[in-house]
Amino acid sequence: MRKMWKIMLVVCCLGMTVGCGTSPSKNERMEEALPVLVVNGTQLMNVEGDTVVLEGVSYGWHQFWPRFYNASSVAYLVNEWGAKVLRASMGVDLDSACYVNKPEFGVECVTRVVDAAIENDVYVIIDWHSHNLRQEEAKEFFTQMAIRYKGVPNIIYEIFNEPVEDSWEQVKAYSVEIIKAIRAIEPDAVILVGCPHWDQDIHLAADDPITGYNNIMYTLHFYANTHGQWLRDRADYALGKGLPVFVSECAGMEASGDGPINQEEWKNWLNWMQRHSISWVAWSLSDKDETCSMLYPSASSEGNWKDADMKEWGKAVRDNLKALKK
């Protein structure tokens, strides 16, 4: 109840209401909300006109690592690692516990992280983590999320994680329909749009962007030991054409999620993102036997991770975030 109480307070502070049934009493103290985010040109900003750069951590697919989807892990990532944004990656397909097979479980995992992010005063991405077009299911899900979190400034919607085989024309048409569904309820929240070929063909979106909607950004994903200067050149092209870019998933190893971390290229990417004031989210909070999973199975579900519980990648992301927090 405390989490829902805080959500309603934040919403009322903005003069709006959350579609969830009850209202706080008039005597309850309203808490200060995070600054509302807007997109101005290629930049993410607050309503005061200040450039905003968010750095943080993405949770792994919810159906495989639900144990980390809890309020304690959120608080630890925010307070101990310095994460400014978290990403709740709801696995849409794959496995019997994915969203299309168990939608209530998916919503429960995502909202647990989202509510905790609100409680800890950070931004949070609701990520439709799929590689396939599922327009009707996506419309239903994002309508539900927009109703639940209408007016809450913490929320960012990522409407298609990584298109793979779909053309930009197909992804664009899908994205317009999902944006319409969200905007019918939530007129202002930032929405992240995916690009073809694992979010690498951002130049295609730059040549034919979505029009008629504000506060839209486009996602670029990279894995530093696979994606180098050629992808930064492609992103520079997109920025040069005025396309707002958000790196909603990135890491230092190969695109498979495994193999060695390329420290030099990871630093090149960090420098590039800093130079362009681009937000980024590192993949992933999970304990799979792969390089990009930040934790070992020995790690607690709730945080308070010791160095022995963290892989090289987890320690690197933690150190990067802590350095940026100073």
Is there a catalytic annotation at residue 162? yes
Beta-carbon contacts of residue 65 (< 8 Å; ≥ 6 apart)? 59, 285, 286, 287, 288
Q: How many CA atoms lie within 13 A of 56 on its CB side?
A: 24
- Rg, the chain, Cα only: 18
Which of 55, 119, 158, 162 does the annotation list as catalytic?
162
Strand partners, 219: 246
Helices assigned H by DSSP within the chain? 2-13, 71-76, 103-119, 135-148, 168-183, 196-199, 202-207, 229-240, 263-275, 312-325
140 is catalytic: no
Q: Which one of the listed residues 55, 119, 158, 249 is annotated catalytic? A: 249
Gap between the Cα atoms of 223 and 296, Å rounded: 20
Give the catalytic positions in this structure.
162, 249
